[in-house]
Structure 1
Amino acid sequence: MARIKIKDNNKIPQAIKTIEKINRKKVKVGYFTGDFYDGNGDLTVKGLAAVHEFGVQIQVTPKMRSFLHHKGLHLKDSTTHITIPERSFVRTGADQSRFAVVQKTEELIRDAITGNIQVELLYEMIGEEMRAEIREHAIDLQNPANHPWTVENKGSSNPLVATGNMIGAMEVEVK
């Protein structure tokens, strides 16, 4: 009587473990570390990103009025606030790039389930893809336009790019 050996090369249990690990993780893209203001009361890149993302109304103080007058922006006496309009680049950038990121995620998940990449790397790559898409959106964003005085003083009409520090400081966080 012949003996029959059955060898099982089934990788389904490992794939299930990987899927469970994938489901426990998440990735965020944005500005997470630090405060909105530095020790001198000046906006940090995180604070500046929040101003652009949500907009803000700034009350005009006599000191501000004098400073702006000295810089060539002469406010009317009736001007009590300066409005920096919402230029949502993180939320709209994420929304507009959703399809591209989902496509990339589908490719990467297959690689993770088959063991070709680690789950942590999967999430880092998804986060980097989303960050790149949001950065591109921020660089391309033109509306609402800068005030002509701002364009003249900044030397650029791009509302979200002056030095590149704010866009460059965007973070990816995997948990």
Structure 2
Amino acid sequence: MAVINGIKSLLNRLRGKPQASANKTTFDAIAKRVMDKTKNLPYINAGFLEDGSMDGNVPVAAVAIWNEFGTPTIPERPFMRQTIEKNKAQWPKLFAAALTQAGGDFEAALDVVAERIVEQIQNEIKAFKEPPNAASTIKKKGFDNPLIDTGNMLRSVHYEIKDD
């Protein structure tokens, strides 16, 4: 488990609010400690992981890719790219807050951020409306939510913390 000590001082310094006891030497020492500990840190892999399948045959990841980039018969519905574009600016702030709340525990902070990213992907799948389903698809499904049919893709959004 990676724990970064002195995280409050570092965050205050980065925000331009040095503590009364903080000085350049203290900041440099904390920054060096953070850099040393972050060389090979774990990271988040969020989305459709390898183990899920639709009806036991087609991998959920394949269905997600077909929806994301389109096929000759399915229009492009870039829900993953939209999730990233809409939310990427808040992820560093969320991580900083989670890291502080977790007392510098890097992996616990990653879990908080990863859970939020999964929620954001799922929200985008539920909210995605354009382009709509074809009339024949709406008739077959009984509703018009382009990225939801059985709900399997929605339920298959997960994350893992990797450290390779």
Which TM-score applies when normalising by structure 1?
A: 0.66
> Is the Cα contact below 8 Å between 2:54 and 2:152 reproduced in 1?
no
2:90 is the alignment partner of 1:100 = yes
Residue 27 (structure 1) aligned to one of 41, 44, 59: 44
Alignment: residue pair count? 136
Unmatched runs of 5 consecutive residues or more in structure 1: 1-9, 58-82
- After the TM superposition, which residues 41-120 of structure 1 pair with which residues of structure 2 at under 5 Å, given as runs? 42-57=57-72, 83-112=73-102, 116=103, 118-120=105-107
- For residue 163 of structure 1, report the CA deviation from its aligned partner: 2.3
> Alpha-carbon deviations, 1:58-109, whole Å to 9, x = none?
xxxxxxxxxxxxxxxxxxxxxxxxx201111112112111133232112123
> Is the Cα contact below 8 Å between 2:148 and 2:154 reproduced in 1?
yes
Q: Which has the larger radius of gyration?
A: 1
SS at match of 1:160: coil
Unmatched runs of 5 consecutive residues or more in structure 2: 7-25
Tell me, in whole angstroms, the C-alpha distance in 1 between the residues paired with 2:101 and 2:34. Answer: 11
Identity of aligned residues (%): 26
> Is the Cα contact below 8 Å between 1:22 and 1:119 reproduced in 2?
no
Q: CA RMSD in A?
A: 2.7
SS at match of 2:96: helix
Tell me, in whole angstroms, the C-alpha distance in 2 between the residues paired with 1:156 and 1:16. Answer: 55
Q: Which amino acid aligns with 2:100?
A: R
> Is the Cα contact below 8 Å between 1:26 and 1:123 reproduced in 2?
yes
Tell me, in whole angstroms, the C-alpha distance in 2 between the residues paired with 1:165 and 1:35. Answer: 9
Tell me, in whole angstroms, the C-alpha distance in 2 between the residues paired with 1:157 and 1:22. Answer: 45
Partner of 1:62: none
Which TM-score applies when normalising by structure 2?
A: 0.70
Residue 147 (structure 1) aligned to one of 134, 139, 150: 134
Tell me, in whole angstroms, the C-alpha distance in 1 between the residues paired with 2:116 and 2:84. Answer: 10
Partner of 2:150: 163
- For residue 25 of structure 1, report the CA deviation from its aligned partner: 2.1
Q: Which runs of 4+ in 1 moved over 4 A?
A: 10-19, 35-39
